[in-house]
Structure formats: C-alpha cells, structure tokens
Chains A and B, each alone.
Chain A
Amino acid sequence: MPVDLHQAATPRLSLRQLRSPHAGPVSLSLAAGECLALVGASGAGKSVCLRMIADLDPCEGEVLLDGVSRSALRAPDWRSMVVYQPAEPAWWDPTPESHFPPSLRARAQALLPQLKLKPEVWKGDLARLSTGERQRLALVRSLAVAPKVLLLDEPAAALDHETTLALEAVLRTHLDDGMAIILVTHSAEQATRMAQRQVRIVNGQLELPCTPSA
C-alpha cells in the first residue's frame, strides 16, 4: 500500500483502544522519528503493552503502521517492522553470529563498535558474555532487521553510564532516520534524555500526560 510521505498527518504508529484482559484500553500515536517513554511501577503493564503492540499476545482494538492496519498484514511481516525487545532477551544458538541471517551480518557487525562491543564477541560463546554485552547484542539483533518501530523494554538496565550514552546515541541516529521508539525505562534521566513525550502506565492504563501523578 503506497504511503504519502508528505502527508505529515499520518502517524508512524497509532494505537486505537488496544486492550486485553491484562491491560488497556490504550490509545496513542507516534510520529516517525519520535521517541516515547513509557514509565510506571513494576507490574503496571508496560511489557504487556509492548507485547500487545507487537502482536505477541491476543488483544482487541486496532494498530496502524503508517496508516496501514495491522490486520491487513501477515503477523510475521508486522513483527519484523514493529520489533519488540524484551528486558531479558533470549538466545537460541551458541554464538551471536548464528542469530543473524547471512544477509544481515554485515549490517549487524558494523553496529558493534558503535555500541562499544569488541569484535571478538561476534563469534564468542554467548554463555560467557556479560549481561551487558548480551543486552547490547540484543539491540544489534533488533536493529539488524531494520524495523520502523522499535519497542524497547529496559534496553540499558545492565549497562554503565558511559555505555548507556553510547547506546542512546545509536538509537538517536535511527530516530533521525525515521524510526519510532517506545522506550520502557525506570530511569527518569534516560526518559528525559531520549523521549519527546513521557506516558505513565498505571494498572495497565495510560495516565493522561497532563495529569500530575498522585
């Protein structure tokens, strides 16, 4: 389906009354290049929200990407454009390299130095890498499929300050290229640095941005 690039009114991602028995209803829109921070207490339903957007959990309501309804797309195609990265990324093969299809490996390897990853981790044993290294590799894995929307759950939880800033810089270059990001974070500083807007989730529902938190 053709998308008119000049039609600035079409948001990159819009959620309309997205809901499941565990969360929602959630309605919001995200422009291309925008980063939205999703904040809230543990267990408030932030991850559940991201999983609904990625179509990993059954839910009702509508989600549109560049004006195209999710139901018009095959689910795997949707998920390769709207990539969800959980807080504890899982690995299914022994080395990082084998998690990438050969066609994506060059692009992925180019990201390693930007994330302060040494070249030898690429063929290393995942079980021997540190949590922080695995977390950055997970971001490499998510970015390699070139999504239009990235749903990040605590992507810097295991990183020191300097590495966190490097990761944010990488995210910023992708935002500049038009990727939209929903960032779940417990760090108020990170939310301020990265996000144009912040939304608080309480009991699976959005608290309106203007409402002061109780």
Chain B
Amino acid sequence: MGLLESFVALLEIKDLRARVAAPGGKDILKGVNLTIAAGEVHAIMGKNGSGKSTLAQVLMGRDAYQVTGGSVHYKGIDLLALSTEERAREGVFLAFQYPVEIPGVSTSYFLKAAVNSIRKHKKLPELDSVAFLKLVREKMAMLKMDASFMNRAINEGFSGGEKKRNEIFQMAVCDPTLSLMDETDSGLDIDALRIVAEGANRLRGPERAILLITHYQRLLNYITPDVVHVMLNGRIVRSGDKALALELEERGYEWVEKELAAV
C-alpha cells in the first residue's frame, strides 16, 4: 500500500441513515459514524434492536433496507453505489448471524462459484475442480471441518455451530479485505469458539480489517479488538479500547444509556 493510500481509511462511514424498505418502514440506523483503518479489528456491541445487524446488512447492500442519508467509502470507493455482488467481489465479506439453507446446492458447488466470481472480477483465471479442492483442503483442516460437509446441500441439516463454522470457512476461502462478522459467536461452545476465532485471526493483516458484531465480550478474549464501540438506538454512542468491553460486561448496557442521558 502506497503512502497516500495509507492515509485513506479502509472503511469510512459518515452519518449513515437507513430504514426498512417498506411502506411505513421503521428507521433503524440514525446517523452511524465509524472509521476503520487497514490492519484494525473493531468490535460493535449493543442490545438487541440497537441496529448492529442492520448495519452489517446495509454495508452489504441488502434490498430490504433503504439508505436515507450519509455515505460509506471503502478503499476510497463509494460502497453504496455498488451492488451486493460487486461489493463482495471488491473484497467485503459478511459472515451471517443466521446463515440460510439452500437445498440441492452443495457447499462445494456454491463456494467454487463464489471463488470464481471473485477471481473473474480480479481478472484472474478461474479455478478448476482440482485447484479448488487444493485451496479448500488447507482451510478445512484449520477449521477442523469434516470433508463430507462439502457435498451436503449448503447449511441443510447443519447445527447452529456448524453453520457458523461454515461461514468462517467460506470467509477463509474467499479471502476478503474487509470481514463483517455478525454475531458469529452466538450459539457456539468454547471449542467451536476457539476454532472460529483462530480462523478469523488468520485473516488479520496490515491491509485488511475485521468488524465484529457481538453481544458478549467472550469472543473478544479470543479476537483482540483494537477499538470497541457501543451501538444504541441506531447510532454509535461510545468508543474505547478492550477495557470498555469488560466494563459493559460488568455494568450492562443500561450504564451506557444512563451516562448518555446524564450528558
């Protein structure tokens, strides 16, 4: 990365506002401000309904939400002007909170299609089945996944934990620049959590960034964040370092609300 580029934040969100895209749809994001520099790991914590997941989905361009104001720049590009698949091809990845099932479509077929769409965009040659298998074998071993799941329909019959591991596995294979992990830790036992965290940590790098969305600070014991934010009522109201997460755990979200009200 050049000297000039290092001054441009990897992700810059300014006053982002969004509502549910339906008649009478509720406003969910009410002016989010967030800057993530390359090489950093940020965590967003907040109550249910604070807008955390919505933020992740709006960043990925889900049609169910309509942006009503603000801007998002990713590597200096206007991210909101790109379609979902274009954002993915530019290196943004969303690990879902509730990964959907697609009957009849094997994980292997799905992931190969994904990898090749991204490679095509980067003007790289598409991978054939042999090359693709080689690529995924290493990642499967790292995430301690059984090879048999590759031939199963994606996420069909998977337990919650398996679905989450599958998300991180896909993330590892797609090799994104900006990873958005939406409550990846919910429903995981300690062992699964460790494996998932290791997968995420391997994606850290000076030119990449990770945005973790989580309820509980437990995940942050395994993936150390550089910055922790608290989201409340569709806005980021407080930022700090890892210590903030521990304080939240102890005192609860009401503490933040009270502090805000007092101001």
Partners in one complex: no
